[in-house]
Amino acid sequence: MMSEIKLHDKTFVPFINESQISEAVKKIATEIEDYAKDETVIFISVLKGSFVFTSDLAKVYQNDAIFDFIRLKSYDGTNTSGKVEVLLDLDRSIEGKKIVVLEDVVDTGNTLVKIVELLKNKNPKEVKIAALFYKPEAYKKDINIDFIGMEIPNKFIVGYGLDYDELGRNLPEIYQLKEMASNKRMADIILFGPPGAGKGTQAQIIKDKLGLTYIATGDLFRHNIKHQTELGKQAQVYIDRGDLVPDEITIEMLKDAVYKDPNARGFIFDGFPRTVKQAEFLDQLLAEKDLIIDALLSLNVADERIVNRLVERGKTSGRSDDNEETIKHRLRQYYEKTAAVKEYYDQQGKLHEVDGVGSIEEVNNRLLNVIKNLKLRGEK
Ligand code: AMP
């Protein structure tokens, strides 16, 4: 299990795990294969950071390819006209060839401009850029990034070739700098209820009003299914039947989502936990971060209403599990496996029952009233 690490004087928290990285590398490899057609591409790996990415890409890239390496030292990293020294240059001519530059991460794009300038002077046929990680918020240049493994927020990252003052390159996963938890932490809340109780609608509004990070495991699964990731393929069979996805798969995905936002002001969980095992896991995960669930808000809606709501929703939602038969099965699953989660938090004195029948605004006001009256961690 990934956990916090220390490099020099700083603490880093897990951010992107090995399987997410390898999906991103494969995506790039496939796109470059399409681009290369039957030509031999020359990959130019930008050292030092790209050595791990280059090595993994080499193992999955299926066409012929040549690998070369370049290493630059920039004296003025913030100024595009600043001087750049070439510490290691290419060992062959690239004239008339298709070039793909391999970058571990592209942020401002300053180094990239230098590299492209240098390469274009050597008269290649074409220069394309592949970035395993790309920070759109930081990128300031016009050069097109042709192949992107994954877009990430503008955070300082280490691992998988990337360093903090030379340490951390050998970590198989990506970590991000831990920022000190803000003392303005709002609340960590579970929005609970049977399928169709209105959790998603309400959570979205509460999230915006309170500035919380919204995590909906159902949405995460659907996102993975849409992109046909390994996780998506595994989950799809269960979801289509209206069964719960096994705890191990769900827990792993949830953990990644929580780790992705180490600086959250609080989380609002929708559709998780759905079993007592998941609830125990969540408590443990938060405890590691010195956090705790403040409340479970349970939206109460009668079964008949729920079936009607979901059948209606099914007409436009495009969800494969919003048909009458699957809806009934999902409700059974709720009573058999999920309802116990309510008791689990009731025993901790955290259960708050809220009437889920009424207009969106009415229900929302009831929920916000409960949240307003919570005794939050920061005040204890
Ligand atoms: P939802 O969007 O919350 O209604 O979730 C849709 C489907 O995703 C559920 O019927 C389950 O198959 C699956 N799912 C979502 N969250 C979980 C969870 N916490 N545990 C197991 N399965 C889940």
* Centroid of ligand 1 to alpha carbon of 273 (angstroms): 9
Please, which residues have CB within 8 angstroms of residue 47's CB and are 6 or more apart in sequence?
69, 70, 71, 88
Whether 158 contacts 175, CB under 8 Å: yes
CA distance 181 to 290: 10
254 C-beta closer than 6 A to ligand 1: no
Model pLDDT, residue 376: 63
* Centroid of ligand 1 to alpha carbon of 245 (angstroms): 7
Q: Are 5-177 and 189-379 in the same CATH fold?
A: yes
Model pLDDT, residue 255: 92
pLDDT digits (tens, 9 = 90+) for 299-314: 999 999 999 999 999 9
Model pLDDT, residue 1: 54
**In the chain, domain spans:** 5-177, 189-379
pLDDT digits (tens, 9 = 90+) for 99-134: 999 999 999 888 899 899 999 999 999 999 999 999
CA atoms within 13 A on the CB side of 264: 23
276 C-beta closer than 6 A to ligand 1: no
Q: Which residues are catalytic, by number?
A: 199, 274, 313, 319, 330
Which atom of ligand 1 lies at the shortest distance from residue 271's CA? Answer: 3
Whether 147 contacts 130, CB under 8 Å: yes
* Centroid of ligand 1 to alpha carbon of 366 (angstroms): 25
Model pLDDT, residue 74: 63
Closest CA to 211 of 185, 177, 229: 185
Whether 178 contacts 257, CB under 8 Å: no
218 C-beta closer than 6 A to ligand 1: yes
Whether 21 contacts 30, CB under 8 Å: no
pTM of the model: 0.60
Residues of the chain under the 50 pLDDT cut: 76-81, 378-380
CATH code of domain 189-379? 3.40.50.300
Model pLDDT, residue 129: 98
CA distance 116 to 119: 5
* Centroid of ligand 1 to alpha carbon of 60 (angstroms): 33
Model pLDDT, residue 195: 94
Please, is 202 exposed, middle or buried when counting C-beta atoms within 10 Å of its C-beta (0-12, 13-18, 19+)?
A: buried
- Candidate of 274, 275, 323 to mutate for ligand 1, largest count of ligand atoms within 8 Å of Cβ: 274
199 C-beta closer than 6 A to ligand 1: no
Residue type, 292: I
- Cα torsion 315, 320, 321, 322 to 10°: value is 0
CATH code of domain 5-177? 3.40.50.2020
- Candidate of 221, 313, 323, 328 to mutate for ligand 1, largest count of ligand atoms within 8 Å of Cβ: 221
Whether 191 contacts 205, CB under 8 Å: no
CA distance 353 to 367: 9
Model pLDDT, residue 79: 41
User: Which residue's CA is minimally distant from atom 2 of ligand 1?
Assistant: 218
* Centroid of ligand 1 to alpha carbon of 239 (angstroms): 7
